[in-house]
């Protein structure tokens, strides 16, 4: 069951997409499908949409100077003619937009900034969540995706005749009815964690390499040449997707690795001096809460913490 | 976390198969009659449920139930209906034994009286609404506030806002979404500290 925070995040995205015109026929279909999935979705959307409508009233704050910059109203007799002209412009614009839509590549690109998160609901009820600093391309048929960078969680409605595939750094993951997450690091390292069902991972750069089928609890770590699969506990696996709820979860993790993880989410960076790098920590932190993390390091671990505009430096 | 497996089973009214009302009618009713009650509803839930972190979930559950019931037939007295639904939900949650706030249970009779008293929302007039909005905006994180003002006051597009603020369009979207969520929460009577958004 999707938690209420996730529903509200998705509802806010729909309001924003409508407001900024990130909209087409596919978006409309996906939106309707999302609304119809649960009355909880509908009421969350209506509530935020109504709130956004209330902010229309802020237009009253426009400064008088701002108003004067607007064009003068044309004389009365011209208005009806202008309406006709405006209608013609609208028709032309739709023509151009329509053409652009059909000429554009058959995929849509979704991107999140550092610290961002986005939930995509596809029209078949499948669900994709993008973590911080991520770029994902989604085929218009909604059965193919390319993870260009970053991390994403997939909850896919299975269709045996038309399996969902994710392409990522020389590999392809083929859904066989699943929930899984994929993380692509700039080093070329790829990590796939399987939560439910089954998925197959293939090396597309060297197709002679045999493919591997993942089972729940499996984490596959792949590079261009290697593919290793290890079985983890459900809890360990769940910790890797704490980001879906806005947290990072560390269990016996070296401070240096924890800092690297934190740095994915924030512009201000944690720097761990080698003298403190190997100390292990436990804890759950909001992804954007560097201060708490630094405080824990100072108070609980007795480390020295120095902070400037761009960095927080931790050392012994 | 509030469990939400069953929307209908403990609802105030059972739901039969075919919906009688059009979606547009129910949406309009929900916006006009139910959403303006949010501040009152939040106050009611906060007073009668011990665990404050459950309250937003309970509120959404109440909304979902009244919406679902309204698909069948719009209630004649919306406000009474909303509060009766909230009351039933709280009673059921208590009986499920997840949490049993005893003093709240003894107050159940009082709950019904609260539902009949006139709400503050009825006295809100247009000028106050603007002041109310500005006060709520003041409590938003500065960047989120700026995005909303640039959009609503200056009417800028997303690329224009991004350029003006020196941030990416993706970040503009993020600020708008988080700002909107926080704003609606504040307008619905959230206590002064802005809730951290995931």
pLDDT tens-digit profile of A80-94? Answer: 444 545 555 554 454
Phi, psi at A29, each rounded to 5°: -65, -45
When pLDDT is cut at 50, 70 and 90, the band that residue A202 belongs to is confident
Low-confidence winner among B28-32, B157-161, B184-188 (lowest mean pLDDT): B184-188
Cα A147 from Cα A224, distance rounded (Å): 16
Percent of chain A with pLDDT over 90: 30
| CB proximity under 8 Å: B 71-100 to A | none
Q: Note whether A72 and A154 are same-domain residues.
A: no
Composition of chain B by helix, strand, coil, percent to 5:
70, 0, 30
Count structural domains, chain A.
3
Per-residue model confidence (pLDDT) at position A2: 65
Is any Cβ of chain B less than 8 angstroms from the Cβ of A115?
yes
Contacting residues for A208 by C-beta, under 8 A, at least 6 apart = none
Phi, psi at A258, each rounded to 5°: -60, -40
Cα B49 from Cα B157, distance rounded (Å): 43
Q: Note whether A171 and A219 are same-domain residues.
A: yes
Contacting residues for B12 by C-beta, under 8 A, at least 6 apart = B65, B66, B69, B81, B84, B85, B88
Q: Note whether A59 and A137 are same-domain residues.
A: no
- For residues A1 and A41, which has the higher predicted lDDT (pLDDT)? A41
Q: What is the mean pLDDT of residues B26-39?
A: 92
Cα A178 from Cα A198, distance rounded (Å): 6
Contacting residues for B145 by C-beta, under 8 A, at least 6 apart = B137, B138, B179
Choose the closest CB to B181 out of A12, A50, A112: A12
First-residue to last-residue Cα distance in chain B: 15
When pLDDT is cut at 50, 70 and 90, the band that residue B97 belongs to is low
Q: Note whether A225 and A141 are same-domain residues.
A: yes
Low-confidence winner among A181-195, A238-252, B78-92 (lowest mean pLDDT): A238-252
Low-confidence winner among A17-31, A64-78, A159-173, A255-269 (lowest mean pLDDT): A64-78
- For residues A82 and A152, which has the higher predicted lDDT (pLDDT)? A152
Cα A120 from Cα A14, distance rounded (Å): 10
Per-residue model confidence (pLDDT) at position B127: 54
- Which residues of B are less than 8 Å from A150 in CB distance? none
Report pTM.
Answer: 0.51
Q: What is the mean pLDDT of residues A231-251?
A: 83
Per-residue model confidence (pLDDT) at position B87: 92
Cα B122 from Cα B43, distance rounded (Å): 16
Q: Are B115 and B83 in contact (CB under 8 A)?
A: yes
- Interval A65-82: pLDDT, tens: 333 333 333 334 444 444
Give the Å distances, CA to CA, from A128 to A107, A142, A145, A153, A178. Answer: 15, 11, 10, 6, 12
Per-residue model confidence (pLDDT) at position B158: 94
Give the residue among B143, B198, B134 at the shortest CA–CA distance from B176.
Answer: B143
Give the domain extent around A269. Answer: 246-315
Q: Are A112 and A124 in contact (CB under 8 A)?
A: no
- Interval A86-134: pLDDT, tens: 555 554 454 444 444 444 457 788 888 888 888 887 777 788 889 999 9
Per-residue model confidence (pLDDT) at position A145: 93
- For residues A294 and A41, which has the higher predicted lDDT (pLDDT)? A41
Per-residue model confidence (pLDDT) at position B19: 58
The token pair that represents A13 in the structure block: 């995205």
Q: Are B152 and B133 in contact (CB under 8 A)?
A: no
Q: Note whether A67 and A175 are same-domain residues.
A: no
Contacting residues for A17 by C-beta, under 8 A, at least 6 apart = A23, A27
- Could you please state the CATH topology (level 3) that the domain comprising B124-187 is classified under: Arc Repressor Mutant, subunit A (1.10.10)
- For residues A38 and A60, which has the higher predicted lDDT (pLDDT)? A38
Is any Cβ of chain B less than 8 angstroms from the Cβ of A16?
yes
The burial class, CB within 10 Å (0-12 / 13-18 / 19+), for A104 is exposed
Q: Note whether A150 and A233 are same-domain residues.
A: yes
The nearest CA of chain A is from the CA of B184 a distance in Å of 6
The residue whose two tokens read 């939900």 is B89
CA A111 centroid distance within chain: 7
When pLDDT is cut at 50, 70 and 90, the band that residue A241 belongs to is confident
Per-residue model confidence (pLDDT) at position B190: 54
Residue in chain A closest to B153 (alpha carbons) equals: A59
Give the Å distances, CA to CA, from A177 to A120, A155, A198, A212. Answer: 18, 9, 6, 15
Per-residue model confidence (pLDDT) at position B5: 38
Q: What is the mean pLDDT of residues A275-290?
A: 84
- For residues B37 and A97, which has the higher predicted lDDT (pLDDT)? B37
Is any Cβ of chain B less than 8 angstroms from the Cβ of A48?
yes
Cα A220 from Cα A174, distance rounded (Å): 14
> Is B34 a residue whose pLDDT tops 80?
yes
Q: Note whether A19 and A85 are same-domain residues.
A: yes
DSSP annotation of A72 reads P
Binary contact (A51, B184; C-beta < 8 A): yes
Cα B54 from Cα B45, distance rounded (Å): 9
CA A83 centroid distance within chain: 41
- Interval A19-59: pLDDT, tens: 998 888 889 999 999 999 999 999 999 999 999 998 988 87
When pLDDT is cut at 50, 70 and 90, the band that residue B91 belongs to is confident
Choose the closest CB to A111 out of B7, B137, B170: B170
Binary contact (B133, A40; C-beta < 8 A): no
Q: Note whether A231 and A308 are same-domain residues.
A: no
Per-residue model confidence (pLDDT) at position B120: 41
Binary contact (B180, A62; C-beta < 8 A): no
| CB proximity under 8 Å: A 190-229 to B | none
Give the Å distances, CA to CA, from A171 to A25, A59, A143, A189, A227. Answer: 31, 51, 16, 11, 10
Is any Cβ of chain B less than 8 angstroms from the Cβ of A121?
no
CATH number reported for the structural domain that contains residue A171 in this entry: 2.60.120.1440
The residue whose two tokens read 């989410």 is A265
Q: How many CB atoms within 10 Å of residue B81?
A: 21
Cα A94 from Cα A143, distance rounded (Å): 28
- Interval B124-161: pLDDT, tens: 444 567 778 888 888 889 899 999 989 988 888 999 99
Q: Note whether A139 and A91 are same-domain residues.
A: no
- Interval A184-199: pLDDT, tens: 988 888 999 998 888 9
| CB proximity under 8 Å: B 96-125 to A | none
> Is B11 a residue whose pLDDT tops 50?
no
The token pair that represents A178 in the structure block: 């699943």
Q: Note whether A116 and A232 are same-domain residues.
A: yes
DSSP alpha helix (H) spans, A20-164: 25-37, 39-54, 64-68, 79-103
The nearest CA of chain B is from the CA of A21 a distance in Å of 10
- For residues B32 and A300, which has the higher predicted lDDT (pLDDT)? B32
Torsion on CA atoms B127, B133, B136, B141, rounded to nearest 10? -140
The token pair that represents A289 in the structure block: 């809460």
Per-residue model confidence (pLDDT) at position B116: 44
First-residue to last-residue Cα distance in chain A: 44
Q: Note whether A263 and A279 are same-domain residues.
A: yes
- For residues B108 and A140, which has the higher predicted lDDT (pLDDT)? A140
Q: Which of A53, A84, A103 is the last residue of a domain?
A: A103
Q: Which of A103, A132, A165 is the last residue of a domain?
A: A103
CA B114 centroid distance within chain: 18
């Amino acid at each position: 069951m999707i938690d209420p925070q996730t529903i509200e995040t998705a509802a806010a995205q729909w309001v924003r997409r409508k407001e900024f015109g990130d909209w087409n026929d596919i978006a409309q279909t996906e939106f309707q499908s999302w609304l119809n999935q649960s009355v909880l979705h509908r009421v969350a959307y209506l509530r935020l949409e109504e709130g956004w409508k209330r902010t229309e009233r802020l237009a009253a704050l426009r400064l008088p100077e701002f108003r004067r910059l607007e064009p003068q109203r044309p004389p009365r007799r011209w208005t009806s003619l202008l309406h006709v002209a405006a209608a013609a412009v609208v028709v032309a614009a739709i023509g151009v937009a329509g053409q652009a839509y059909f000429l554009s590549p058959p995929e849509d690109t979704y991107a999140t900034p550092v610290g961002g998160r986005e939930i995509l609901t596809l029209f078949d009820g499948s669900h994709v969540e993008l973590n911080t600093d991520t770029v994902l391309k989604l085929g218009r048929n909604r059965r193919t995706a390319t993870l260009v960078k970053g991390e994403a969680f997939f909850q896919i409605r299975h269709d045996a005749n038309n399996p969902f595939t994710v392409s990522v750094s020389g590999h392809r993951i083929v859904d066989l009815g699943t929930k899984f997450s994929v993380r692509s690091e700039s080093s070329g390292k790829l990590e796939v964690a399987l939560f439910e069902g089954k998925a197959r991972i293939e090396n597309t750069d060297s197709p002679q390499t045999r493919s591997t089928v993942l089972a729940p609890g499996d984490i596959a770590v792949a590079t261009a040449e290697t593919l290793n699969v290890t079985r983890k506990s459900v809890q360990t696996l769940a910790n890797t997707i704490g980001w879906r709820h806005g947290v990072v979860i560390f269990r016996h993790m070296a401070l240096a690795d924890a800092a690297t993880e934190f740095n994915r989410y924030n512009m201000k960076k944690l720097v761990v001096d080698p003298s403190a790098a190997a100390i292990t920590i436990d804890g759950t932190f909001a992804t954007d809460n560097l201060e708490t993390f630094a405080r824990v390091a100072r108070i609980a671990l007795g480390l020295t913490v120095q902070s400037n505009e761009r960095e927080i430096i931790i050392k012994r | 976390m509030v469990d939400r497996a069953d929307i209908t089973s403990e609802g105030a009214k059972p739901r039969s198969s075919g919906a009688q009302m059009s979606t547009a009618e129910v949406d309009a009713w929900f916006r006009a009659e139910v959403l303006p009650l949010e501040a009152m509803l939040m106050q009611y839930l906060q007073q009668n449920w011990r665990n404050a972190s459950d309250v937003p979930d309970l509120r959404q559950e109440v909304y979902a139930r009244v919406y679902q019931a309204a698909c069948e037939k719009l209630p004649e007295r919306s406000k009474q209906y909303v509060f009766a639904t909230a009351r039933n939900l709280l009673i059921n949650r208590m009986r499920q034994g997840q949490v049993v706030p005893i003093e709240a249970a003894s107050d159940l009779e009082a709950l019904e009286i609260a539902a009949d008293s006139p709400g503050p929302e009825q006295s809100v007039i247009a000028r106050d609404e603007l002041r109310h909005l500005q006060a709520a905006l003041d409590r938003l994180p500065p960047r989120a506030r700026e995005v909303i003002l640039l959009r609503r006051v200056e009417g800028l597009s997303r690329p224009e806002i991004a350029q003006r603020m020196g941030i990416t369009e993706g970040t503009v979207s993020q600020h708008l979404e988080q700002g909107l969520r926080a704003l609606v929460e504040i307008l619905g009577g959230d206590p002064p500290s802005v809730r951290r958004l995931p």
